[in-house]
Chain A
């Protein structure tokens, strides 16, 4: 009896202090890392110093979550693009940081075709992008197979955007289902110019990079300078495979791109991409999926190089993971691998799974297909893992909580 009481006495304050620590972490919580995986979603709440993280999840355990994004305009609306092995794709919405979720009314879906016509079916919503800061409640979504959708009511109802989904020329560039990635062809990297809500970019794997300056009435390809796999015709946009495109918030005239065939930079109004990956070490090359840019310095970007030789292993090169960073717009690159395993770590980082926060110094985050979540508090100088043993990570996003 006495022993039991003693245990209770010890246990109680411990629980209390744990609760108090949680409450403190919550109160001082400034950083949020949103992790989407093949089997659910997690929210990692971090203190201002980014030294303590609390895992909130799984949300949607077992569901395929391709993307989870917090609306930067209201700081509270979360949208999640989800599907399951059995069920069709949908979007869930939360306005209380994931304490409760509600399915939206009408998720993205292609036009129903008439008899004799072959219609398309959205297999998954792949990419979610909040529209311009002056367009509250407006969102864009890119799907697999490729489609572009827009919601004007905070993600509740989605409609095809701009006629692109049925445009014969764009359908030709989108190619067949065989022309896509192993997970299907996808429309991604939907980018809104912070100076102009009518100026948008998007990319397709495969199908190239495209731009509109009139809110989607007209689109034009933006692929000059981009290379394609040897043996394919560079003039055929269906063979262009941009993996990830990012616009620099500090200079909206500058875009960076990680392509199937190299790392590129584009400085508008130029329409020609420059292959800055040529400056990467020969033994590393410039193949990869994600690219992340600095929130305040347009000369700074990071990539996770992968093995694109022989049968395209898409692992870290030689099993030695490394991030490469440039601080001069791609003229030179530096290996950033302190803290990573030195051998036998065959990671793959998918195109949505690397992100930067807005702190100073910038925090970098990425998730691996083997379920590890890594972070650096000093722009890649030193890496630590935040979580291990998660399901395959598809996407990582950051947000600063107000």
Chain B
């Protein structure tokens, strides 16, 4: 499925949309990490929690759960969520 990559992570993918697969959000991120080594740890910490200033939307709805089930036609948007100077 298509995954949107925010600008802070483009140094890994070099493009805004990439293809990745997985039956869950966690599996999808693991697949992404296989293609772009290191990218998962920047988004998910060592306790398997999505980092505080990363937001993931599946078909437009926010998800905070790596066990969230995915269908091949789903759209996943990873976005940055931080303000300040």
Residues of chain A whose beta carbon lies under 8 Å from any beta carbon of chain B: 84-88, 90, 103, 105, 107, 109-113, 119-122
Contact = CB atoms under 8 A, between A and B. Distances in A.
B48 A112 contact: yes
Contacts of B43: 87-88
Interface residues of B, number: 21
Nearest to A117: B47
Given A85-B82, A86-B81, A109-B41, A122 B51 contact: no
B64 to A, nearest CB: 15
Nearest to A102: B38
Interface in B43-85: 43-49, 51, 53-54, 80-82, 84
A112 B47 contact: yes
A318 B43 CA distance: 44
18 contacts: A85-B82, A85-B84, A86-B6, A86-B54, A86-B80, A88-B41, A88-B51, A90-B38, A103-B38, A105-B37, A107-B41, A112-B47, A113-B47, A119-B47, A120-B47, A121-B45, A122-B45, A122-B46
Contact of A90 (B42, B44, B48, B81): B42
A107 B84 CA distance: 26
B51 A112 contact: no
Given A87-B54, A110-B46, 4 more contacts: A88-B45, A107-B41, A109-B41, A122-B45
Contacts of A110: 46-47
Please indicate which of the listed interface residues B45, B49, B81 has the most CB atoms of chain A within 10 Å of its own CB: B45
B82 A86 contact: yes
Contacts, number: 51
A221 to B, nearest CB: 28
Nearest to B37: A105
B46 A121 contact: yes
Nearest to B51: A88
Contacts of B27: none
A87 B45 contact: no
